[in-house]
Structure 1
């Protein structure tokens, strides 16, 4: 009940709260995280059995390269998140530019990783070495996911070019996948480069 002479303003409609993307994307992301989680546990078990050898091998990795790649991917995640905000505001052109920047960071990450692989292989480190076996498999499977992420971002850019398309959910799903790729790298970086 309101006092005489006062007016009540209608309440703005409550924003619908929901997870971005759709259930299928979340199932895929959780499945990937489970797969990587199993591999991380396996790495930890093998590392515990040969801690001295693993630590000695880890010293061959260039932490500056790992840090650089981490900064590149975290920057890409910022661009991706800003792209989702731009889509929600209807700023299609800005969203496309931000998705392009996200993909460019992904390509830069891959180039840096290729340089690092080349350096390690030229030093004689192969997949048959204990630690480097895990290093090449973990970073290789991650790189495949990154390449898939760049492809998915390309699909989102294409979606934003079509005036009749422009479904925000496509952008949200591509960015969700990209964030998963970034999260996986942060864990891989911590396990391979930082944990001694």
Structure 2
């Protein structure tokens, strides 16, 4: 007779936690490589990068920073151990909604920047800017969809997974904001 192994709930959560940290660290590594490329290019061509940076809208980026941090706060409220089902759902849905607000503000910001992006005197700035911020924006859109999906049928492990990844997305933006707009 074959040996039947039963996976306990605790073992399942350990696997979920491992997956969570693999995802979180892989995201940080991917963004780290992109940020490294941007920093190297900015050292190679500092004049083009500082000239191009003058065409960005730091006020809109600051608004988006507040929007994303508010979203992360709502996600944290949803993930509290003592949160009721209604509080968890509300927090996840508000986090997703603020993610969509971030999307709208970013697309508005892009609409003003796309017109100058083709200027060759800016070097690789706008290519890297749109690559890195666009990659981040895709994470925001996908994360917002997953937040809403998890709000529909929340489980403790799914809430922990998406809210942790949502905080990783926040962390990346907290690095991108000063790098692109303030330095």
Aligned pairs (5 A) from 1:164-175? 167-175=155-163
Which position in structure 2 is the counterpart of 1:186?
Answer: 174
Shift of residue 77, structure 1, vs aligned partner:
0.7
Q: Is 1:32 equivalent to 2:62 in the alignment?
A: no
Shift of residue 127, structure 1, vs aligned partner:
9.1
Which position in structure 2 is the counterpart of 1:53?
Answer: 48
Asked if structure 1 preserves the Cα contact closer than 8 Å seen for 2:147 and 2:162, the reply is yes
- Greater than 2 Å deviation, 4+ residue runs: 126-129
Match of 2:113 among 120, 124, 129: 120
Which position in structure 1 is the counterpart of 2:66?
Answer: 71
Name the TM-score, length of structure 1 as normaliser.
0.81
Shift of residue 124, structure 1, vs aligned partner:
2.8
Name the TM-score, length of structure 2 as normaliser.
0.86
Larger Rg, first or second structure (1 or 2): 1
In structure 1, list runs of 5 or more residues that go unmatched: 1-17, 161-166
Asked if structure 2 preserves the Cα contact closer than 8 Å seen for 1:127 and 1:136, the reply is no
Q: What is the aligned-residue RMSD (CA, Å)?
A: 1.8
Shift of residue 158, structure 1, vs aligned partner:
1.6
Q: Deviations over 1:139-191 (max 9, x none)?
A: 1100111111112212211213xxxxxx2111010101100111111111111
Q: Is 1:97 equivalent to 2:85 in the alignment?
A: no
